[in-house]
Amino acid sequence: MTRTDIIIVGAGPVGLFTVFEAGLLKLKCHLVDVLGQPGGQLTEIYPKKPIYDIPGYPSVLASELVDNLMKQIEPFNPEFTLGEKAEKIEKIEDSLFKLTTDQGTEICAPVIAIAGGLGSFEPRKPPLENLEKYEGKGVDYIVKDPEKYRDRDIVIAGGGDSALDWTIYLAEIAKSIKLIHRRSSFRGAIDSVEKVMELANSGKVDLITNAQVTAISGANSVESVTVETSNGIVDFNADYFIPLFGLTPKLGPIGEWGLEIEDNAIKVNTYDYSTNIPGIYAIGDINTYPGKLKLILCGFHEGTLMVQSAFKHIYPDQKLSFKYTTVTGISGLE
């Protein structure tokens, strides 16, 4: 089991900058994020959008800010567990927590900082009746093992890159593949759109546009999906239905950790951004307090104050003397 000083749940901008502030106090951090790359919303939702309210940057692209933060924290050698969701937190000793991810990775630390933004990014699920009943029984939101679709009838829904990419990939494997999309143009990469059009023309993909899936049926697993098209309603045989409508943040397991929650956010004390559980802090968009503003800038401030309190929590008998970076410098950035 990995051991660190602070486990940071969420590798968005606030989680990343907290590594820097913790590093100044010689505290080690381990970040956990459900996404496969750091940056959180900045990487997942708006990488190419300029941000105008980061002090010192008249304008900075979200993706650039993430790159810069990664560079800024590099000297402190943070550890990352990416592509895994923080699932469970338990107290294993008097002042030691153990965090377990959905893939069984275990990390322990005396302090946990939740910088989870709006929660963990999860596939957006269509509001279809009985959808849950078919989850894992023909309804897949992520393609993990393409081989399972060999020689089966597949229906994919969506119009973005993942819908196009998997349609192209599975066209070679599946017995039949239908791509259902609500309009005739696609927002994915031009190459992928052209490839899907080619596959449609050669009959390898059944492209059904101006259409939406409205129902799923089958006794125990998916047997058919109902599609509403401009020409009426049609039922298609399907062994698998793969809705690919992007990712959306959900509070998820964070809501089950015994923390005081209000309006999908964790209540904190603004003195040090501590939660109702000593040793667990919440910073950035995930927390709430009177006057809260969901700004990256405010999250940076929260993380900075939080690590001071974390230090005292870990080393109650040690004195902490505050030093400016202009005095001490940062080995590795000089």
Nearer to another protein, 110 or 299 (CB): 299
| Other Cβ atoms closer than 10 A to 251 | 16
CB 84 within 8 A of CB 31: no
Per DSSP, the three-state class of 166 is helix
Q: Rounded to the nearest whole angstrom, what is the least distance from the CB of residue 290 to another protein in the complex?
A: 17
Per DSSP, the three-state class of 35 is coil
Site residues (vs another protein, CB under 8 A):
41, 45-46, 49, 118, 124-127, 131-132, 158-160, 181-183, 185-187, 212, 214, 245-246, 248-249, 294
- Look-up: residue for tokens 């998916």? 222
User: What is the total residue count of the chain?
Assistant: 334
Nearest-angstrom CA–CA distance, 132 and 16: 35
Nearer to another protein, 72 or 212 (CB): 212
Q: Rounded to the nearest whole angstrom, what is the least distance from the CB of residue 65 to another protein in the complex?
A: 15
Nearer to another protein, 44 or 87 (CB): 44
| Other Cβ atoms closer than 10 A to 192 | 18
Q: Rounded to the nearest whole angstrom, what is the least distance from the CB of residue 28 to another protein in the complex?
A: 32
Q: Rounded to the nearest whole angstrom, what is the least distance from the CB of residue 304 to another protein in the complex?
A: 23
Q: Rounded to the nearest whole angstrom, what is the least distance from the CB of residue 170 to another protein in the complex?
A: 19
C-alpha dihedral (75, 79, 83, 85), degrees to nearest 10:
-130
Q: b vs e for 119-146, b when ≥16 Cβ sit within 10 Å of the residue's Cβ?
A: bbbebeebebeeeeebeeebbbeebeee
Per DSSP, the three-state class of 49 is coil
Radius of gyration over every alpha carbon of the chain, rounded to an integer in angstroms = 23
For the chain, the distance separating the N- and C-terminal CA atoms, rounded to the nearest angstrom, is 34
Q: Rounded to the nearest whole angstrom, what is the least distance from the CB of residue 73 to another protein in the complex?
A: 25
Q: Rounded to the nearest whole angstrom, what is the least distance from the CB of residue 76 to another protein in the complex?
A: 30
Nearest-angstrom CA–CA distance, 208 and 330: 57
Q: Rounded to the nearest whole angstrom, what is the least distance from the CB of residue 127 to another protein in the complex?
A: 4
Nearer to another protein, 96 or 297 (CB): 297
Nearest-angstrom CA–CA distance, 184 and 166: 18
- Look-up: residue for tokens 């449609």? 200
Nearer to another protein, 4 or 162 (CB): 162
Nearer to another protein, 231 or 326 (CB): 231
Nearer to another protein, 183 or 323 (CB): 183
Nearer to another protein, 46 or 71 (CB): 46
Nearest-angstrom CA–CA distance, 260 and 258: 7
